[in-house]
Amino acid sequence: MADYKAPLRDMRFVLNEVFGAPKLWQTLPALAEVVDAETAEAILEEAGKITANSIAPLNRSGDEEGCSWVDGAVTTPAGYPEAYRLYAEGGWVGVGGDPAYGGMGMPKAISAQVEEMMNSASLAFGLYPMLTSGACLSIYAHASEELKQKYLPNMYAGVWSGSMCLTEPHAGTDLGIIRTKAEPQADGSYKVSGTKIFITGGEHDLTENIIHLVLAKLPDAPAGSRGISLFLVPKVMVNEDGSLGEHNSLGCGSIEHKMGIQASATCVMNFDGATGWMVGEPNKGLAAMFTMMNYERLGVGIQGLATGERSYQSAIEYARERIQSRAPTGPVAQDKAADPIIVHPDVRRMLLTMKALNEGGRAFSSYVALQLDIAKFSDDAEARQRAEALVALLTPVAKAFLTDMGLETTVHGQQVFGGHGFIREWGQEQLVRDCRITQIYEGTNGIQALDLLGRKVVGSGGELYNAFAEEVRSYCAAAGSELGEFTAPLQAALENLDALTSFVIDSAKRNPNEIGAASVEYLHVFGYTAYAYMWARMAEAAVGKETQDDFYASKLGTARFYFARLLPRIHSLSASVRAGSDSLYLLEASQF
């Protein structure tokens, strides 16, 4: 596999030239003091170095070796503890954390780029810090000041890690039916008992303590999702003076053997009356989890993009070097026995699809990250509200579309290598295996689509949808005529999405199955339209500069490819949506 090289040029382009992020940060009080264009640049450069030099080289060996479990102890692959220490010492775990507790205080638009680099370098490695920052977000937003003081500084510093314990053997998507119990104790703590499965980083040898955030039910809890509370349960008890005490009553029963991310420990966790403390209010645990979910789900979307980027970097190098057959228009490499495969139309189709989806995904995830920053830091209530609406609407799109496109991209990357993509040596098959989980965890992509169409679009009577549609409409109306080749198809795509949205809102009134029948294809139509908006904005930032720098010429060429070859996918997807749910219910369960 080609060495990983962080796509810093494109990240800079997206942040500075497309979205003007440094200017935006200056308008957000908490950010104006801590970040400007130079700081952002320095952080991204450093992140590029550590991920490329210290983490990327462990990706293949980590996959080969995997994690091992002996008597409850989990050992990560060789080199992982050292690399994790280096990563933690650089302050990267707390890059987005509040400086009051030792975090770096950076906006999500920067930590999103860092996440991309880390996950391109190694998705399995990246999960450990990612779960830690996810746990920190919930503690920061909902825990008591005492818990925050006690746990956050060591978690941001990467000395302790975090895990999210939601799933149980019988309860994945439907967390309302979990059985883990929390019994209140006289001293204000709780005894937590139950079994959680599939817990990423539930046990490992990277840090001296692991802080589990566990969903459980109080004895008198109402049934369903309104009866779930959230608890902080440390692996090792923390004394009043901050030193480590006794081992808590919990353990790792086993780790899973799985398709990919072999270096990430996926654990069965048993809690046997383990001591914990409530985070947030009784029976409001799911709401507390939702605080981190918008960040986490965007982060999982970025994992899809990250594997796609790594796959592209290898594929483009291979396509320039591998020689097979002659170009249809006549020999190109006269001095060689055959031409490099990059001359062939189908190989170009695959490479350009990868490039267009990766760069579209990078712009889209950065756009959503900027909305998260506005929602969190703006002192203008109206701007905050609008950004919150966009985050609510676009987060399921970012999670599902970026990961679906991530898998498509890694499969194209594998295909570019032919048979060499199927064997292990070149690393392409690992990227396909690793990427696959991103469509499943953190809420399956089917559930993301239901969230988008059911809760967000139909549930808000179209209000959230309009927040996005209005922005795209105004953008098209204000764009200059030199952008017409991009804004005309963008506007047509938006009109198609408007009509599709009205169609589903209407048909859902007649038949409750219509939302679930339409949701995945609807999300994809939405995703392609959102990427078209991103590609129009990228083209706008590149147009007129194409003769100065190949980077801009490449941007414009890729934008044209996106509009010509990828955006038209919305037509067949829209036809599927319009076909409705009837054909899904022609068979009895026994007739399948």
Q: Which residues are catalytic?
A: 442
3-state SS, residue 126: helix
Among 47, 137, 178, 199, binds ligand FAD (CB under 6 A): 199
Nearer to ligand FAD, 7 or 66 (CB): 66
Burial of 509 (0-12, 13-18, 19+ CB in 10 A): exposed
In a 10 Å sphere around its CB, with 0-12 CB exposed, 13-18 middle and 19+ buried, how is residue 423 labelled? exposed
When asked if residue 123 is in the footprint of ligand FAD (CB under 6 A), the reply is no
The residue behind tokens 């995997």 is: 66
For residues 191 and 275, the answer to whether their CB atoms sit within 8 Å is yes
Q: Which of residues 198, 277, 295, 468 is near ligand FAD by CB under 6 A?
A: 198
> How many whole angstroms separate alpha carbon 88 and alpha carbon 136?
14
Interface with ligand FAD in residues 210-269 (CB under 6 A): 258, 266
For 148, the token pair is 């925050």
114 binds ligand FAD (CB under 6 A): no
Name the minimum Å distance from CB 384 to ligand FAD. 30
Decide whether 269 or 347 has the Cβ nearer to ligand FAD: 269
Residue from the set 165, 255, 392, 508 that interacts with ligand FAD by CB under 6 A: 165
- When asked if residue 172 is in the footprint of ligand FAD (CB under 6 A), the reply is yes
Interaction residues for ligand FAD, span 428-447 (CB under 6 A): 437, 440-444, 446-447
Q: Choose the stretch contacting ligand FAD; rule: CB under 6 A; options: 82-90, 163-171, 245-253, 529-537.
A: 163-171
Q: Which is nearer to ligand FAD, 266 or 428 (CB)?
A: 266
Residue number of the CB atom closest to ligand FAD: 172
CB of 131 to ligand FAD, least distance (A): 6
Spatial CA neighbour of 3 closest among 42, 46, 47, 60: 60
Contacts 24+ apart (CB under 8 A), 21-28: 21/107, 21/109, 21/366, 21/370, 24/370, 24/373, 24/374, 25/107, 25/373, 27/378, 28/107, 28/373, 28/374, 28/377, 28/378, 28/379
Residue 515 CB, nearest approach to ligand FAD (Å):
10
Q: Contacting ligand FAD (CB under 6 A), which of 130, 164, 354, 372?
A: 164
Residue 167 in contact with ligand FAD, rule: CB under 6 A: yes
Q: What minimum distance in Å lies between the beta carbon of 197 and ligand FAD? A: 7
3-state secondary structure 390-434: HHHHHHHHHHHHHHHHHHHHHHHHHHHCCHHHHCHHHCHHHHHHH
Does 389 bind ligand FAD (CB under 6 A)? Our answer is no
The answer to whether residues 504 and 577 touch, using CB atoms and an 8 Å cutoff, is: yes
Interface segment toward ligand FAD; rule CB under 6 A; list 73-81, 158-166, 391-399, 455-463: 158-166
Residue in 349, 353, 310, 361 with CA at minimum distance from that of residue 538: 361
Binding mask 498-517 for ligand FAD (x = CB under 6 A): ------------------x-
**Which residue's CB is nearer to ligand FAD, number 27 or number 513?**
513
Binding site for ligand FAD (CB under 6 A): 164-167, 172-173, 198-200, 258, 266, 437, 440-444, 446-447, 450, 516
